Homo-oligomer: A and B are copies of this chain.
């Protein structure tokens, strides 16, 4: 066990990669050396990190020599292609893609919820889907005490989940529409400015899209509840980088009171309760943006079901939904001597 680490970021120039750099710097992550890896297109690009200028290198199978921790956020196909090489070179891979999440050999971890799962890995630890993480930050503390039986969730997802280009498309389309111009979607499949649409991922035979399917199956794995009933409707909205979710939880044992739920949520690390009924102040994407905590509010007893409760959450998709959670996995493993 070393106390300073040779770190690599695969996909360093993307929306999540950029946040990796910011989080590592802000957290003063114990970095002995930092290798920035990206596709050929970004090779040679210079990026400042902690007062130094780093040169982006090309992501290849040979790029991981000497690396101890490799953060991957370059898409599922690149993770499948290059993560095994990183593991072979001796690195622990923390992978933000969907490539290995449902692999029974790969721990899928939200540190506040199931860090113990990270102890037994075979080189790869998976970072869950952003919507899954943000939902579970509110569901897990309640589930832990009162046992959730069923969750009905509808999402309000930011453009950032589709990458930096989708964020730029939202800005460009919005400007064009304000000027009265026609817009042609390029990155996202439909107009995103002043519009919303069902999540841009393939729909399966059950009528669920991939994002919804991830929320269902990843949540069960993280909570160790293979039988937890979940339905999800995932929607892309014209927001830049924080996801929101409307969550209905039905409990198996008993429904907590609003005060009990607020207390359990307040005590949970990484959650900030924003639930001011008088001032009509609840979680909002602009307040969740650039913030590490997931905001939780609208905590109320569901009048339609004596065992259910409603919540509303907002969390930064690029931070807790991606880069921050991955860095926290590494930090928690270091603190436990597992890295």
Residues from 170 to 212 in A contacting B, C-beta threshold 8 Å: 170-171, 174-175, 178, 189-191, 194-198, 200, 202-203, 206-209
* A3 adjacent to chain B (CB < 8 Å): no
CB atoms of B284 and A195 under 8 A apart: yes
A286 touches B233 (CB 8 A): no
Q: How far is the CA of A78 from the CA of B156 in the complex (A)?
A: 35
Q: A190-B284, A285-B195 are in contact. Are A231 and B178 (CB under 8 A)?
A: no
> Chain B residues near A174 (CB, 8 Å)?
174, 178
**Contact-size category for A:** 35 or more
Among the stretches A33-41, A57-65, A129-137, A299-307, the one at the interface with B is A299-307
Q: Is A315 an interface residue when CB atoms closer than 8 A count as contact?
A: no
Which of A178, A202, A207, A240: most chain B CB closer than 10 A? A207
Q: Does A323 contact B (CB under 8 A)?
A: no
Chain B positions within 8 Å of A191 at CB level: 284, 286
The verdict on A246 contacting B304 (CB below 8 Å), with A194-B238, A198-B280, A202-B280 known, is: no
A280 with B189: in contact, given A195-B286, A237-B156, A239-B195 (CB under 8 Å)?
A: yes
How near does chain B come to A17, taking the closest CB pair, in angstroms? 23
Q: Is A265 an interface residue (CB 8 A)?
A: no
Q: List chain B residues, Cβ under 8 A from A196.
A: 156, 237, 239, 244, 284-285
- A96 and B167 alpha carbons, distance in the complex (Å): 38
Name the B residues within 8 Å of A320 (CB-CB): none
Contacts of A154 in B (CB 8 A): 154, 233, 246
B312 touches A235 (CB 8 A): yes
Please give, as numbers and ranges, the residues of chain B lying within 8 Å of A268 by CB-CB distance: none
A175: B residues at CB distance < 8 A: 178
Q: CA A284 – CA B200 in complex, angstroms?
A: 13
| Copies, count | 2
**Cα separation A233 to B300 with both chains bound (whole Å):** 10
Q: A190-B284, A207-B299, A237-B237 are in contact. Are A229 and B305 (CB under 8 A)?
A: yes
Asked if A216 is at the interface of the complex by the 8 Å CB criterion, the answer is yes
Residues of B contacting A209 in the complex (Cβ-Cβ under 8 angstroms): 280
With A174-B178, A178-B178, A198-B298 already in contact, the answer to whether A277 and B207 are too (CB < 8 A) is yes
A151 at the interface (CB under 8 A from B): yes
Q: A233-B246, A304-B229 are in contact. Are A280 and B194 (CB under 8 A)?
A: no
23 interchain pairs (CB within 8 A)? A150-B304, A150-B305, A151-B304, A152-B248, A152-B304, A171-B178, A174-B178, A178-B178, A191-B284, A194-B240, A194-B285, A195-B239, A196-B244, A196-B285, A197-B282, A198-B297, A198-B312, A203-B278, A203-B280, A208-B300, A231-B305, A238-B238, A246-B246
Known: A174-B178, A229-B303. 7 other contacts (CB 8 A): A152-B152, A152-B248, A194-B239, A206-B303, A207-B298, A233-B248, A235-B312
